[in-house]
Amino acid sequence: MGYYDRLMIEDIKKRSLHRIKIIQGQMKGIEKMIEDEKYCVDIHTQSLAVQKSLRSLNQLLLENHLRTHVSSDMKKGDDSEKKTIVELLKLYSLSEVKK
């Protein structure tokens, strides 16, 4: 099995797909609120809820990555370890809140 052929941990996959369905529903709700010209603060509140849901999804995806790919690569100790560290640093950089 190749590096990118590994499956997701079943529980995390199930929870991630559930989270995505929730996010899709939230987005449709925001779209309808905008179409119906609802109160801006209410729309913004829903937008923030979507962002929280996305953070939750990202956490699940990171957990899966750490428990599968990272764990395996660190045990190898070759160039895979270096590549994994670079990937994690990129993820960290993307996740930082810019002020």
Does residue 2 lie within any of the structural domains? no
- How many domains would you assign to the chain? 1
Mean pLDDT of 16-41: 98
Which of the two residues, 38 and 3, has the higher pLDDT score? Answer: 38
Does residue 3 lie within any of the structural domains? no
pLDDT digit string (tens) for 38-85?
999 999 999 999 999 999 999 999 999 999 888 887 888 778 788 888
99 falls in which pLDDT band (50, 70, 90)? Answer: low
pTM reported for the whole predicted model = 0.80
| Domain range for 64 | 9-95
Distances (CA, A) of 85 to 39, 58, 80: 45, 18, 9
Does residue 4 lie within any of the structural domains? no
CATH number of the domain enclosing 20: 1.20.58.1000
Per-residue three-class SS string for the chain: CCHHHCCCCHHHHHHHHHHHHHHHHHHHHHHHHHHCCCCHHHHHHHHHHHHHHHHHHHHHHHHHHHHHHHHHHHHHCCHHHHHHHHHHHHHHHHHCCCC
- Average model confidence (pLDDT) for the chain? 89
Does residue 43 lie within any of the structural domains? yes
Does residue 90 lie within any of the structural domains? yes
pLDDT at 1: 46
Does residue 66 lie within any of the structural domains? yes
